[in-house]
Amino acid sequence: MSVVTQSKPAFSANAVDRLIDATAADMAKVNALILARADSHVEMVPELARYLIESGGKRLRPMLTVAAASLFGKGTGSAINFAAAVEFMHNATLLHDDVVDESDMRRGKPAARMVWGNKASILVGDFLLGQAFMMMVETGDIAALGVLSAASAAMAEGEVFQLAKTGDLSTTPQDYAEVIRAKTAVLFQAACEVGAMSGGADAPGRKALARYGLELGTAFQLVDDVLDYRGETDTLGKNSGDDLREGKMTLPVILALADASEAERAVITGALGDAEASDDQVRSVVAIMERHDTLGRTIRQAHAHAGAARDALNAAPAGAMNALLADVVEFSVMRLF
Amino acid sequence: MSVVTQSKPAFSANAVDRLIDATAADMAKVNALILARADSHVEMVPELARYLIESGGKRLRPMLTVAAASLFGKGTGSAINFAAAVEFMHNATLLHDDVVDESDMRRGKPAARMVWGNKASILVGDFLLGQAFMMMVETGDIAALGVLSAASAAMAEGEVFQLAKTGDLSTTPQDYAEVIRAKTAVLFQAACEVGAMSGGADAPGRKALARYGLELGTAFQLVDDVLDYRGETDTLGKNSGDDLREGKMTLPVILALADASEAERAVITGALGDAEASDDQVRSVVAIMERHDTLGRTIRQAHAHAGAARDALNAAPAGAMNALLADVVEFSVMRLF
């Protein structure tokens, strides 16, 4: 997943900066808990875990958890545990994904697997997942545990589905929607939903925040998949064109294959799934995408989901935090420009 | 982990056969739940999961869970969910271990990673872990969830510790004890403890079964580590000498290195961690182990833990199930002969 630079002066970055400010007190507790629970008498565990966790991600998911809790009144208590658990689940997924995708870089640094190896990355991911569940259990909130454990299973299922579809030219936009729902949007949904629950939300409020997270996460992933073709390697924290080289069937390539001429199709399939595809090949594929406006169509889908995320907030308590969460949606789409 | 053949006519196999009979009604429910929860709309998930789950393991851990529950009176209800969850946790670990150890065989068949690849094995392992937690959550028993989530984190930590110690000639018997506690005994302990809890055990009863599981699991792993050097490939379901070739610092090799002459040490270190070490090299190492009685000393440690497991049962309700669980301990050590 790509990360924008903090220095970007866009409106969107401001909204996230304001979220960082608004959640600072809670996030200080979350960060302390994260550090404490990444500890182990087995040295390699905290070394590897902290390398990843402290590598400059924005911690958007745990911020959403504590923000959702404070939206309903209670920003502390179990929300802190859930926020740390969500971040651990996310980082466990990143560790395993980088092994599965054979990624060399993550957040602008060598991926953990390049430093400690695939084996340690798999096992430390498992450790973080176990610690995440321990933190959830400590809250005693069995309903929220249900939300997060279902998310955990769905995320893995989505990753398997994506793997099964790797390089599969018959992948449909519906298949893609299912993949991004499971691998990305479900955790955003769970992060917001358990935040709302721990904040004391009633059923409609909980449902509103779940919907907000799902739509936000979907917009976020759609933009991510555009950035993989349009972004600069420096800004992405990984290599532009990685998805193409890994054979990932994201919406820009699915739509391009559907509309491509025979010659264009040959250019795309010649690079798709070829780890050695050149930057020139990637540029040729991007040119085809621009010709058929598949990056633009993907962005417009992202905007539609962003709108749905903002709409969902209408059913949640009004006020400054509600307005801020609406602004954060912009971040998910504005980081394109 | 090795599996004995069902046809073995030893006393030990009889105890496990009697456990199979005694838990048959509960295990029918457990097995139905396992099959249902290994399902997914993503075809690769149930294919891979069932390949492993149905490959002939004895399901000793879930049998212990339902047996422990019935020892205290209630063999059904939440015990069924916990038993299935324990088996999923075990199989998730096997999938990841086989990737980490680069194992080719498991239970006498090609390992799942040889059929579906490392990537699918990692992700389906994650899926099984998520499903395990969902089944636990459904019981609403937060205390038992705490036991199992702590076990999950400890198991991964133990695997990392083992990885860090791979080929490390300074590994001590204490390091080894910590590795096998975390990677094997903790799950046996949790399986028995949550079984007792769901069966309605009081605090001393719960503690007794936890101790029983811990000691049984320790004996089980000690014997496993002896079998790796003494077993026949046909019976093991994997290759004899694998631990040596993988550089695993198990007690037989740790004790041998401590007592070895300079020449013997050279023979051991020449094969340790060398994936290409010949059967002749393995035989030479085993000869050194026999000379210093390190396999015998490991077996005697296993017997001591087996005795402690039986002793623990004194604090649990007497009766036929208690006697059967005591007999099952024999299985863990008698499968050597």
Percentage of chain A beyond pLDDT 90 is: 80
* Count of A-B CB contacts under 8 Å: 137
Point out which residues pair with B105 in neighbouring strands. B110
Residue A53, pLDDT score: 84
| Cα B92 to Cα B109: distance, rounded to the nearest angstrom | 17
Mutating which of A94, A134, A174, A197 best tests the B interface, going by the most B Cβ atoms within 10 A? A134
Mutating which of A81, A118, A157, A187 best tests the B interface, going by the most B Cβ atoms within 10 A? A157
- Kindly report, residue by residue over A77-113, the tens digit of the pLDDT: 899 999 999 999 999 999 999 998 888 888 888 999 9
CA A46 distance to own-chain centroid: 23
Of A43, A120, A145, the CB nearest to B137: A145
Residue A236, pLDDT score: 54
Measured in angstroms, the CA of B127 and the nearest CA of chain A are apart by 5
| Cα A200 to Cα A185: distance, rounded to the nearest angstrom | 23
- Closest residue in chain B to residue A100, using alpha carbons only: B119
Neighbouring CB atoms inside 10 A of A94's CB total: 23
Neighbouring CB atoms inside 10 A of B275's CB total: 9
The string of DSSP letters for A111-166 reads -HHHHHHHHHHHHHHHHHHHHHHHHHHHHT-HHHHHHHHHHHHHHHHHHHHHHHTT
| Cα B137 to Cα B133: distance, rounded to the nearest angstrom | 6
| Residues B114, B172 contacting (CB under 8 angstroms) | no
Mutating which of B39, B78, B81, B149 best tests the A interface, going by the most A Cβ atoms within 10 A? B149
Question: Hey, which bits of chain A come out as E strands?
Answer: 105-106, 109-110
Three-point CA angle B224, B225, B231, nearest 5° = 70
ipTM for the whole complex: 0.91
- Strand A109-110, strand A105-106: pairing: antiparallel
Name residues of chain B where pLDDT drops below 50: 1-12
Are B146 and A134 in contact (CB < 8 Å)? yes
Residues 6+ apart with CB under 8 A from A245: A271, A273, A274, A275, A276, A277, A282
The token pair that represents A7 in the structure block: 């220095």
Q: Write down all domains in chain A, each with its CATH number in brackets.
A: 11-334 (1.10.600.10)
Percentage of chain A beyond pLDDT 70 is: 93
- Count of H helices and E strands in chain B? 18, 2
Q: What is the largest CA-CA distance in chain B?
A: 59
Model-level pTM?
0.92
Measured in angstroms, the CA of B120 and the nearest CA of chain A are apart by 6
Measured in angstroms, the CA of A63 and the nearest CA of chain B are apart by 23
- Kindly report, residue by residue over A4-35, the tens digit of the pLDDT: 333 444 444 589 999 999 999 999 999 999 99
| Cα B284 to Cα B263: distance, rounded to the nearest angstrom | 12
Are A160 and B134 in contact (CB < 8 Å)? no
Residues 6+ apart with CB under 8 A from A19: A63, A67, A324, A325, A328
Chain A residues whose C-beta is within 8 A of a chain B C-beta are: 40, 42-45, 96, 99-100, 118-120, 122-124, 126-127, 129-131, 133-134, 136-138, 140, 142, 145-146, 149-157, 159-161, 163-164
- Kindly report, residue by residue over A209-256, the tens digit of the pLDDT: 999 999 999 999 999 999 999 876 555 566 688 899 999 999 999 999
- Phi, psi (deg, nearest 5) at residue A106: -155, 125
Average pLDDT of span A136-155: 96
Cα-based distances in Å from A226 to A218, A244, A294, B228 = 13, 11, 9, 51
Please provide the average confidence, as pLDDT, over all residues in chain A. 91
